[in-house]
Amino acid sequence: MAENKPKKLKNVKNPVHNKVAVYDAASITVLEGLEAVRRRPGMYIGTTGPDGLHHLVWEVFDNSRDEAMGDFADDIEVVLLPGGIVRVADNGRGIPVDVHKQTKVSALETVMTTLHAGAKFGGEGYKVSGGLHGVGVSVVNALSSWLRAEVHRDGSAYVQEYAQGKRKATVKKIGSSKLHGTVISYAADAGIFTGGIEYDFQKIVSHLREQAYLVKGLRITIVDARQNEAKMPRPGEALYIRESLTSSPSQSFYFEGGLRSLVSFYNRYQKPIHKNIFYIEREQDGVTVELALQYIDDIASRVFPFANNIYTQEGGTHITGFRTALTRTLNAYGRKSGILREAQENLTGEDVLEGLTAVVSVKLREIQFEGQTKGKLGSVEAQGAVAGVFAEAFSEFLEENPDDARAIINKSVLALKARKAAKAAKDSVLRKGALEGMTLPGKLADCQSKDASESELFVVEGDSAGGSAKTGRDRRIQAILPLRGKILNVERARLDKMLASEQIKNLVVALGTAIGDVFDVSKLRYHKVIIATDADVDGAHIRTLLLTLLFRHFKPLIEGGFIYIAQPPLYKIQKGKEVFYVYSDEEKEKILGKDAEVEQEGADEELSTDERNPSTSLRTGASGTTVSEEGESSSVASSTKKSSKFRLQRYKGLGEMNPEELWETTMDPARRVLKQVSIGDAADADRVFDILMGEDVSMRKSFIQSNAKHATLDI
């Protein structure tokens, strides 16, 4: 057989430009200093959107927190100042300012301008830290239009300023100081964060509150002085500035209870099934393990993993060790105590997690994360340390607290029975669909396209809206699923009860992802799932019930950006042959003006808007230019015929629109307005769903009363 030798290629041409592609040493670009960070910021902070912007705050704060973890600091202040400036101060040792032997510049400048430079790679600078690559504060420097570092140490105060990661001058001694600590002030670069420099104060408060629980004895103060007229203090003038900002919103946290207090905080709106919160802090094989847990009367689980105080949202080896030990320990105690009968099968990991609130925190000297954003712990030694420490301590807890132990085992046994019932119900649904040869519900008007990336599913309220939508849609890419009435509130419903609901079963089958342990997001049949309900109280309730279902059982669809809420117009305004579709009362007033002569169509009174407030100021239907929040626009010639009288129609439901109107205003990708559903803070979202959709009426009433002033009513 002849040998197939590779062909020798000469002068390879670019097929697009038909030019010879030269690839030699001159083609290699070397990025110096922090230029690589500015070119590819996503590699270091994940995104240049709001999450990346807040990640800068976490990076600067983490350096101060690491000082506290080493018992070198006990007070950290974070201040949001006018002009997008963030100021973080601590009373730690202060970054060294003497000349670094290797870089020949000050240690401060080395840390601020060099990737992979810091005191966390060896020696005794830090025994435990959240830093891994030594890129944190240097990345913040690179992505800031301006940054100032102030250091108080050894009786003196020093300062150095930077612009886009480059020093403006050498480190300067500005006087004597009796203080010790570091102050980092910076302004994120608007050229990098093109979505705007807007910090979410509550998001920062939530994150730093959590950190205060994780470091016992640390005081953390957050001040929102963005509306304050106070100016930035001069370099070296003060370590903390909160005393001069007493009129600004602020919060301060200090906890001695550690993770036990944090679990209690997470469960403050829940009903515990056992009184005592389990807690252990112990070191094994060089790994410090701190863990607290409590079971509540709920079907969801909440496990919060931390490694060196970094929230590892994707889990990692410490969570693997915890879950293994939890399942094994509860099975062993259940058999020994007789609560688990011999004929009964063992509890699974799924069973023992139901209703669990747990915080698992490990601290390691040499730590390995997967990725710079530290979403998953990879340190192998953490798994064995957590499993060993937790199994021994939890076994003792169960023996010493038999009432608590029985409540926990019974809770898990109930979950086991429910799991088996849910599996039978799920299998029955799938099997029935296959035998009948009808995997899609009859109510679904499917689209022609089989390409999920271009396909859309409109979930509409009622057969009337469904009829208009089916007639007015683009049949090639748009599918319609009408719902009859309000679906089941799934906040505390198990899978078998959910699948007994025809409305939920239809939606599950239409999505194509299945549900429960066989859920597979890759099988989603539509990459836009659009909730389209009426602009009234019932419509808002149905939308909330659907969002509860999606959040509890289809969360990856929200996280993947597949869920949207349609924004149909509130009003139709006609003036002669000119037609305007209006999405808010503000837009309506702009069109009508103060002295307009208005003829109200129908018997309905003019109503105010609900939560709709699209960013565009004017959207028109059959005439004028329309702009959607999806970024598409189209122009249609408008009539020049004039009339002095406006005709106003208030839409209360999608069923009131004819197919043409529904297409023009709500379904046409070129003109519609969609709001994408996202999860800003999973813990806060979880809490709100618990309150609003749970069984505690008094708690829900209190929440509504407390937040009534933020509501926009549609009465």
Q: Which residues are catalytic?
A: 461, 534, 536, 538
Question: Would residue 276 be called left, alpha or beta, if left means φ above 0 and alpha means ψ between -120 and 50 degrees?
Answer: beta
| Dihedral sign, Cα of residue 31, residue 33, residue 39, residue 41 | positive
- Spatial separation of the C-alpha atoms in residues 326 and 352, rounded to whole Å: 7
| DSSP three-state, residue 61 | helix
Measured between alpha carbons, how far is residue 667 from residues 471, 529, 569, 599 in Å?
11, 12, 11, 28
Cβ atoms of 358 and 319 within 8 Å: the answer is no
> Which residue type occupies 172?
K
Tally DSSP H helices, then E strands, for the chain: 20, 27
- The string of DSSP codes covering 10-52 is -SPEETTTTEE---SGGG-----TTHHHHH-THHHHS-SSHHH
- The string of DSSP codes covering 519-543 is --GGG-S-SEEEEE--SSHHHHHHH
Residue 86: phi, psi to the nearest 5? -115, 135
- Spatial separation of the C-alpha atoms in residues 190 and 173, rounded to whole Å: 30
| Dihedral sign, Cα of residue 402, residue 404, residue 405, residue 411 | positive
Residue 501: phi, psi to the nearest 5? -85, 120
Give 244's Cβ-side CA count (13 Å radius).
13
Cβ atoms of 483 and 460 within 8 Å: the answer is yes
Q: How many CB atoms lie within 10 A of CB 73?
A: 24
| Lookup: tokens for 506 | 């239809």
- Spatial separation of the C-alpha atoms in residues 303 and 386, rounded to whole Å: 14
Alpha helices of 554-602 — where are they, by DSSP H?
555-559, 585-592
Instruction: Provide the residue count of the chain.
Output: 715
- Spatial separation of the C-alpha atoms in residues 703 and 712, rounded to whole Å: 16
Instruction: Return the exposure string of 151-162: e unless at least 16 CB atoms fall within 10 Å of the residue's CB, then b.
Output: bbbeeebbbbeb
| Lookup: tokens for 68 | 């506290």
Nearest to 73 by CA among 50, 93, 54: 93
- Spatial separation of the C-alpha atoms in residues 499 and 148, rounded to whole Å: 58
**Element spanning 363, H or E:** strand 356-363
Q: How far is CA 258 from the centre of its chain?
A: 24
- Spatial separation of the C-alpha atoms in residues 687 and 667, rounded to whole Å: 33
Q: How far apart are the first and last CA of the chain?
A: 84
- Spatial separation of the C-alpha atoms in residues 468 and 639, rounded to whole Å: 26
